[in-house]
Amino acid sequence: MERRFERELESLKTNLAKMGSIAEESLGIALKALLSKDEALARRVFVMEDKINMMEMEIDTAIIDLLALKQPVAGDLRFIIATQKINNDLERVGDHAVNIAESALTLQRLSAVTIPSEIHQMVEIARTMLKEALDSFILVDSALAHTVLRTDDQIDDLNRAMVQHVIEQVESQALTIEGGLELIRISRNLERIGDLSTNIAEDVIFETEARVVKHRAEQKDGN
Amino acid sequence: MERRFERELESLKTNLAKMGSIAEESLGIALKALLSKDEALARRVFVMEDKINMMEMEIDTAIIDLLALKQPVAGDLRFIIATQKINNDLERVGDHAVNIAESALTLQRLSAVTIPSEIHQMVEIARTMLKEALDSFILVDSALAHTVLRTDDQIDDLNRAMVQHVIEQVESQALTIEGGLELIRISRNLERIGDLSTNIAEDVIFETEARVVKHRAEQKDGN
């Protein structure tokens, strides 16, 4: 009985890690679609979203079954609660990847828009944050999770810089309003992926250190 | 023992209802600040957010204690899981109220911007959706929860109309790019409150009908 429960926790972790790597891949493809303006790649992201949504529901059901049938306590319970929250965060990462893929398609249509350097930097940071957050979960590495928390400010600053850049470019007519809105949408989605990676890191810290670090510094939703 | 557990579930529900009414009030004040361009009102929203964040953590801790100490099953477990998700959604409603209050302050500065009719309509719908979602939780009324799900399309359509409106207004120089971006930000935050109300309604349906209605229709995060 005890052994079986451990195997079930192991399998939950494996499934969440799998979902994490699909969410990461989906984001990677969306970003590649964006930077290369590749329509077929963008469409692959929409297919992956269905897969991610299905996995989220499966993992959620598995978690509720574990809570109901095994009635876990202490560390196991914290692990399961963290898993549940990370599952939700990864599903939202998938949604943001879809939004970026949609923007990639729109930018193909608005062919004159070049991707500014801020977005390139945000792409790198968002991917690193998500990767490190997932690694911190898999390796149960709370030091790495703390690294993710420290990175979030950078992406927030770049997001603000992007808005300023777009305002100037539209005012000087170097960019259309439609192009500008699309760049801001991309920037915001990248910033939200940074926030979600931060959420995941916070959940890892909760799991490993049994303390809540949320709302420690200000972190807004949506913007 | 049994009686005590029931009292604890009752108290969890009361606390979540209280948090719901604070989130609702915070949104109401943010919207009033926006429509009346009242700075003092906008600042009240920031104070309320601290209160909401604190309540979220308290409720989350109470939930983990209940799971650990009472090991609930079946309907009680579904109720607790729903409570946990709604708690998270309400905290995010608080974040969006803060975003709207920030926009209210920005619009004071950009005094030439008038609030278009789409925003007025979205304000009404978002408030109604949130109220009905919370009522459906308190009254355990899944029919009312289904009503909320059906309303979400309206607010999505208005959000799209707003973006189009802003593009036209900026192009015809009836609106500055800064003013336009702020209106879109408000519109998006209202639309997200609609999504979160939908999430709450889905959790009520999960609790009462023991089935998952998420991902039934497409519902994106963030946009």
pLDDT digits (tens, 9 = 90+) for A6-59: 999 999 999 999 999 999 999 999 999 999 888 999 999 999 999 999 999 999
What pTM value is reported for the model?
0.91
Q: Confirm if B155 and B221 have CB atoms less than 8 A apart.
A: no
Rounded Cα–Cα distance for residues A75 and A206 (Å): 10
Q: Confirm if A162 and A116 have CB atoms less than 8 A apart.
A: yes
- Which residues, other chains included, contact A185 with Cβ-Cβ below 8 Å and sequence gap of 6+? A99, A103, B223
Q: How big is the CA angle at A134 (ends A93 and A98), to the nearest 5 degrees? A: 15
Q: For residue A110, name the pLDDT band (cuts at 50, 70, 90).
A: confident
Task: Please name the member of A85, A178, A215 whose beta carbon is closest to the beta carbon of B167.
Answer: A178
Looking at the complex, report in whole angstroms how far the Cα of residue B177 sits from the nearest Cα belonging to chain A: 6
Rounded Cα–Cα distance for residues A19 and A28 (Å): 14
Has residue A216 got a pLDDT over 70?
A: no
Side chain identity, residue B61? T
Specify the 3-state DSSP secondary structure of A218. coil
Superfamily of domain A2-209 in the CATH hierarchy: Phosphate transport system protein phou homolog 2; domain 2 (1.20.58.220)
Nearest to B148 by CA among B133, B131, B163: B133
**pLDDT per residue over A189-211, tens digit each?**
999 999 999 999 999 999 998 76
Cβ of B74 within 8 Å of Cβ of A68? The answer is yes
- Spans of all domains in chain B: 2-209
pLDDT score at A37? 83
Query: Dihedral through CA A149, CA A150, CA A155, CA A160, nearest 10?
Result: 110
Q: Confirm if B26 and B88 have CB atoms less than 8 A apart.
A: no
Task: Please name the member of B81, B96, B166 whose beta carbon is closest to the beta carbon of A222.
Answer: B96
Q: Confirm if B212 and A60 have CB atoms less than 8 A apart.
A: yes
* Token pair of B6 as six digits: 């029931």
Side chain identity, residue B23? A
CB atoms within 10 A of CB B4: 9
Q: How many CA atoms lie within 13 A of A31 on its CB side?
A: 21
Per-residue CA distances from B157 to B85, B125, B187, B215 (Å): 26, 12, 11, 19
Mean pLDDT of A55-75: 92
pLDDT score at B3? 86
Sign of CA dihedral B19, B96, A59, A193: negative
Rounded Cα–Cα distance for residues A197 and A152 (Å): 9
CB atoms within 10 A of CB A5: 14
Looking at the complex, report in whole angstroms how far the Cα of residue B97 sits from the nearest Cα belonging to chain A: 10
> Which residue is listed with tokens 């943001």?
A96
Alpha helices in chain B (DSSP H): 2-36, 39-70, 74-109, 117-138, 142-171, 177-209
Query: Residues of chain A with pLDDT > 90: what percent?
Result: 82
Q: Which residues of A touch B (CB under 8 A)?
A: 53-54, 56-57, 60-61, 64, 67-68, 71, 73-74, 77-78, 81, 84-85, 88, 92, 95-96, 98-99, 163, 166-167, 170-171, 177-178, 180-181, 184-185, 188-189, 192, 212, 214-215, 220-223
Task: Please name the member of A54, A78, A180 whose beta carbon is closest to the beta carbon of B177.
Answer: A180
Cβ of B74 within 8 Å of Cβ of A64? The answer is no
The segments of chain B whose pLDDT lies below 70 read 1, 211-223
Contacts of A74 in chain B (CB under 8 A): 68
Looking at the complex, report in whole angstroms how far the Cα of residue A65 sits from the nearest Cα belonging to chain B: 9
Q: In this prediction, does ipTM exceed 0.85?
A: yes
Rounded Cα–Cα distance for residues B19 and B87 (Å): 8
Side chain identity, residue A212? V
Q: Confirm if B63 and B87 have CB atoms less than 8 A apart.
A: yes
Side chain identity, residue B222? G
